[in-house]
Amino acid sequence: MKDFRVWDPLLRVFHWSVVVLFTANALFTDPDEGLHRWIGYAIAALVALRVAWGLVGPRRARFSDFLPRPGAVLAQLSDIATGRRRVHLGHTPLGALMILNLLVTLAAICATGWMMGTDAFWGVEWVEEAHEALVTWAELSVVAHVAAVIWESVRTGVNLPRAMVTGRKSVPEDAMIVE
In the chain, which ranges are continuous DSSP H helix?
9-23, 34-56, 63-66, 70-82, 93-116, 125-156, 160-166
For the chain, the structural domain boundaries read 2-178
Is beta strand 176-178 parallel, antiparallel or unpaired with respect to 86-88? Answer: parallel
- How do the pLDDT tens digits run along the chain, 179 residues long? 999 999 999 999 999 999 999 999 999 999 999 999 999 999 999 999 999 999 999 999 999 998 899 999 999 999 999 999 999 999 999 999 999 999 999 999 999 999 999 999 999 999 999 999 999 999 999 999 999 999 999 999 999 999 999 999 999 999 999 98
Structurally, at CATH architecture level, domain 2-178 sits in: Up-down Bundle (1.20)
